[in-house]
Chain A
Amino acid sequence: MDRIADWPLPLDIPLPLPADSVLLQALLVLLFLWHILFVNLMVGGSLLTVVFQILGRRRPDFETLARSIAGTVTVNKSLAVVMGVGPLLAVNVYYTVYFYTANALTGEAWIGLVPLVTLAFLLTYVHKYAWDRLASAPALHLSIGIAGAALFLVIPLVFLTNINLMLFPGRWLEVDGYLSALLLPNVWPRYFHFLAASVAITALFLLFFFLRAGCPIESRLQTLDRAALRRLFYGIALGATGLQLAFGPLVLVTLPSQGMSWYLIGVITIGVTLALVAMHLMWREIVSPRPSAMPRAVAVFTLITLTAFAMGYGRHVYRESAIDEHRDLVAAHGREVRWEIAAAHWRDATGQTLVKVPLGQRIYESTCAACHAVDRVVVGPPLTEIAGLYRDDPAGIVTWTEAPYRKREGFTAMPAFKLGEEKLMAVAGYMIALGSGEDPGSGEDPGPGEDPGSDTDPGAAGEAAAEDRG
């Protein structure tokens, strides 16, 4: 649905936001970046653990590294989850309608997060704490690590799909289930963008972790020395960041134009420039025989952090402009309905009643009654005659009304009324009932068994109902 007028228009929660919207947005972006840092370390850490453990079968040093990295994953995963609650709270309160809608549409995967993440966490615990005990069954131990890492690869996709789906109210009616939401534009490029970032960030983190003063790892390594570790982790970080040169543009071009702007392109360009400088520094660290150690590492760290800020902010700019127009419509609609609620509430409290005329009667009286009366010819035939013709076929009235033709000598041809099936069925029902001498306004259901569950075809339902009555 490309026209915004066709998008679903829900009501927002009619309670005020708990804080200024700028403050909530700032909280959302900053807390999310803080959360995603630990998610990166959790995902990247579990991947590197498994890869190093496999490499460790040939070179024991890599198993030593793997074991040490596994120790960081169990800490970072706890921080990832606890740091996620803050931005979750912010997105709940600031994007209430958008977020909850996406959640419901991907409900199975969304609630599946609870057992999946629990299982992933338990697997990382077993992997870490049973390292010695399972030394005699290395294949089993490695499988546990791989299973945990595989779950960590699946989990972010669920979040990513939700945060993507929420931005496109025009697609909400098309989605039926999580898998269909996965196929929306931008999901997969963004996912690979995230994975590459996870590996890069984790490699930089491990660089600091292993090369920090007093780290006991060096004494436990047989062949690898500090210089080798430095080259290893800078190499991984550079390689993963290099992949972004492919993923980044892919993310950008698959973004629906709905929220694009030159401002956004500007923000992203700044981020990319910072990352390119960081990549250059990493390359220098790898190739130079005498590395500059910490100062250059700090520069790399700072540049990558600033890149993350630029990208996180750019992402928010896109989010805001993507739903901006729709949000205005939601707000205007909300004001209108709130006013009606207050008026209805007041009428209720003061004992007034507003009787609503049924749809069929409204249309009949405003449109059809100009030419049709109950039991005499005005311009067209009377309802008694119409009821006789269509009692068993109310859908026939719909077909006729949408495309009438000259049928009777001496009568004026009827114009077409394309009011839509719902309205035409309503007026058909009303006319048949009125023409049959019933009281269509009573609104009472004629009785059980009269309205079978053929909800896909209102024509058939009407037919059966009419048959019973006849």
Chain B
Amino acid sequence: MDFPVFHLDFFGNRLLIAVIATLHVLINHMLAVGAIPLVAFLEWLGLRSGDQRWDDLARRILFVCFIVTTSLGALTGVGIWLSTSLVNPAAIGSLIRVFFWAWFFEWTVFVTEVVLILIYFLSWRTAWARRHRRAHLGLGVLLAVFSWLTMAVIVAILGFQMDTGVWTVQPGFWTAVLNPLYLPQLAFRTPFALVTAGLFALMLTGLFTRGDREFRGTAVRTISIWSLVFTPAMLLGAWSYWQAIPERMLANLPTALTTLTFTDFLEPLRLAILASVVAVIAVCAWGVAAPRRLPALVLVVPFLLAVWQLSYFERVREFIRKPDVVAEYMYSNGLRASDYPLYREQGLLTLATYSPVGEVTEFNRHEAGREMFRLACSRCHTTHGVNGVVEKLATMYGWQDWDHATIDTYLQSMHNARPFMPPVPGNDAERGALATYLIDLRDDPAGLAGAQSHGAMPASH
């Protein structure tokens, strides 16, 4: 409405955020929040036992974490901001207004975290660290605390997006932070990070201990125990999180899990999720019982399963909060529910800053419909690409007879039939124009260009 509309018409805007954010969460949970305590633990084992091999293993795991977190990890973190401010500036702009001080505090924690990891890693083999091994270990413990704190702050905002709690009636910083989903989600993510960091470390251990089968056995057993120890807490956290999800969101769950097309596979999918958790536990149990008979290649499996589980979890979490991007305040299309009556009275397009079309007339229906699509649909849908709107309609109506009245009626009642979709904003004429555009789109391969290539007010794209 108030910003030029960035749009990726093949990959879709959702996928852009999803790829960046999922990478970031994977790195954050596995290679920072969970991995740093584990590295410190391994360093402590070396200190206690006097066995230099623990120290070496800890440092080599930290080296991987250091390289990845300070490059891809840091940049995907910033990338979540850059991508959300492109895709949904109204949403991220609103969240920043509410959570500015939380983000500011998180930033100071983040600065400390980066400074600490620089010192912790770069000082590992210095003369200072050799003389003061306990102090060096202390750095690791401190770093672990700060890594966890950055996650603890951000999870408050993720929870807020799903359930604003009492904030809508009692706006304020703390009512926003202490939303109903905050603590359950934190209770799940913390042990999840610890468990999966173990799985990541198992994979690296297989790589780093090739020449020393005896030590590999000991290390694999120790790290397997580490992951198993936190598994019950993780399952408990998952359960409490599940309990806290608002009921209206659970209705979205089948679609969130399987997408609309594959709802039939819900049962097999549930089994697959269960099986993957069992498989992870089984490999760890094997690692405890007979670590030397565990081939290094098998150690990759739990890691890959964990990557899949976490990515899937994030997809489902992002999906079930729909149709809202901020629960009961703003729809996924970036429009506030409170503004809908005015859109209905005056028309969405006349109020939009960058629409080349104002009121719908006899002769501008296609153009008006295109601007409607841009404003109301394009945050989640492409024209012909990923989550393409043409294909969605074709699944319902086939490829032939798209009757205007049928499409228009569907648009009118869509948010009731598909509870994860926001209602179409604007007046009846605009909805009619959108229907016209959608029908035209079926035969028009050109699609929709974004502001990044065709400017804020594209005349004909």
Contacts and interface: CB of A to CB of B under 8 A. Distances in A.
B79 A394 contact: no
Nearest to B408: A445
Contacts of A173: 455-457
B460 A455 contact: yes
Interface string A280-292: 0000000000000
A178 to B, nearest CB: 7
A226 to B, nearest CB: 24
Contacts of A86: 104, 107, 111
A13 B94 CA distance: 6
A19 interface: yes
A354 B452 CA distance: 37
B197 to A, nearest CB: 21
A425 interface: yes
Interface stretch (B183-191, B235-243, B285-293, B434-442): B434-442
Interface in B268-316: none
B4 A451 contact: no
Interface stretch (A49-57, A248-256, A308-316, A339-347): A339-347
Given A110-B82, A114-B76, A429-B361, A105 B452 contact: yes
B432 A443 contact: yes
Contacts of A202: none
Given A347-B341, A433-B362, A113 B82 contact: yes
B82 A429 contact: no
B339 interface: yes
A89 B100 contact: yes
A142 interface: no
A17 B436 contact: no
Interface string B327-367: 00000000010111110111100010110011111111111
Interface string B63-107: 000010011101110110111011001101110111011011001
Contact of A445 (B341, B370, B432): B432
Contacts of A100: 3, 85, 89, 93
User: How big is the B interface, by class?
Assistant: 35 or more
B74 A93 contact: no
Nearest to A75: B118
Contacts of B362: 360, 394, 425-426, 429-430, 432-433, 440, 462, 465
B2 A97 contact: yes
B450 A121 contact: no
Given A453-B440, A455-B367, A108 B453 contact: yes
B429 interface: yes
Contact of A448 (B104, B115, B402): B402
Contact of B100 (A19, A78, A114, A344): A19
Contacts of A394: 362-363
Interface residues of A, number: 93
A12 B455 CA distance: 20
B412 interface: no
A121 B71 contact: yes
Nearest to B63: A129
A92 interface: yes
Q: Residue among A85, A106, A178, A359 with the most chain B CB within 10 A?
A: A85
Given A118-B71, A175-B456, A81 B365 contact: no
Contact of A107 (B107, B339, B357, B451): B451
B403 interface: yes
A342 to B, nearest CB: 9
B97 A111 contact: no
Contacts of B97: 13, 15-18, 93, 96
B16 interface: yes
A117 interface: yes
A105 B451 contact: yes
Given A10-B2, A18-B97, A78-B74, A345 B361 contact: no
A243 interface: no
Nearest to A129: B67
Interface string A253-289: 0000000000000000000000000000000000000
B345 A354 contact: yes
Contact of B107 (A89, A178, A353): A89
Nearest to A354: B345
A81 B78 contact: yes
A396 interface: no
A444 B432 contact: yes
Given A15-B94, A75-B122, A114-B76, A107 B459 contact: no
B6 interface: yes
Nearest to A458: B363
Contacts of A408: none
Contacts of A347: 341, 345
Given A100-B3, A341-B338, A456-B460, A356 B346 contact: yes
A421 B101 CA distance: 49
A88 B366 contact: no
A310 B361 CA distance: 55
A114 B111 contact: no
Interface in B1-49: 1-6, 16, 20
A75 B115 CA distance: 9
Contacts of B20: 114
Contact of B455 (A11, A19, A78, A175): A175
Nearest to A427: B361
Contact of A356 (B67, B338, B427): B427
A348 to B, nearest CB: 4
A350 to B, nearest CB: 11
A121 B70 contact: yes
A174 B101 CA distance: 36
Contacts of B357: 422
A306 interface: no
A101 B75 contact: no
Interface in B400-421: 402-404, 408
A176 B449 CA distance: 11
Contacts of A332: none
B460 A111 contact: no
Nearest to B429: A443
A104 B359 contact: no
A8 B347 CA distance: 18
Contacts of B342: 337, 340-341, 344-345
Nearest to A360: B361
B220 interface: no
A390 interface: no
A359 B359 contact: yes
B107 A114 contact: no
A11 B93 CA distance: 12
A135 B362 CA distance: 73
B110 interface: yes
Contacts of B56: none
B75 A114 contact: yes
A15 to B, nearest CB: 4
Contacts of A8: 353-354, 456
Interface string A51-84: 0000000000000000000000001001101111
Interface of B: 1-6, 16, 20, 67, 70-72, 74-76, 78-79, 81-83, 85-86, 89-90, 92-94, 96-98, 100-101, 103-104, 107, 110-111, 114-115, 118, 122, 336, 338-342, 344-347, 351, 353-354, 357-367, 370, 402-404, 408, 427-429, 432-433, 435-436, 439-440, 444, 450-457, 459-460
7 contacts: A9-B353, A10-B2, A11-B353, A104-B5, A176-B454, A347-B341, A448-B436
What 9 A-B pairs have minimum CB-CB distances, sorted nearest first?
A107-B452, A429-B362, A18-B100, A348-B341, A10-B2, A462-B363, A176-B455, A100-B89, A114-B79
Given A358-B359, A455-B370, A465-B362, 9 more contacts: A8-B353, A16-B97, A78-B74, A85-B107, A86-B107, A88-B81, A172-B4, A358-B361, A459-B363
